[in-house]
Structure 1
Amino acid sequence: MHPRYKMLGVHTIIFLGVFLLIRYVMMQFMSEPTNTWITIIPAVCAWILSPRPHVVQMQSGKQYGLKFLFAKKIYKM
């Protein structure tokens, strides 16, 4: 599998996992959830917490990885 597609796949899976987890927790604690808040808040939280795709141009080609918001380390694919 090409590293670019692996990077995007892992990014998407983590984003969806965080989104669904936060949405489930919000549905349990909100007494009368509205569709707007039950979608916007988990989407923003998942966007903040999920890793960002990171591409570095090297002499040997592009190097793909994921970078989390609270970590300086880049996880290479």
Structure 2
Amino acid sequence: TRIRAVMSTVQAPLLWVPLKTTSDVSYAPSIRQTIIQTYQESADSYKEEIASLDRCRQDALRGSAGSDIT
């Protein structure tokens, strides 16, 4: 029982790990360029979808998922 008493009072050290951060980056120009070069299509026809992808990324970064009410 002495071992059990000693083990119950030993605490593991807590480590502080800094949060990761990222800067605001728009993927829209790269996606538009990929659509044009790879599929030889007008990227303008995908404007809403590209904007939606950018919003999803921003929501994930800021933790504000659900801000788009569509």
TM over 0.5: no
Q: TM-score, normalising length from structure 2? A: 0.39
**Larger Rg computed on CA atoms:** 2
Q: Which has the higher strand share?
A: 1
Q: TM-score, normalising length from structure 1? A: 0.37
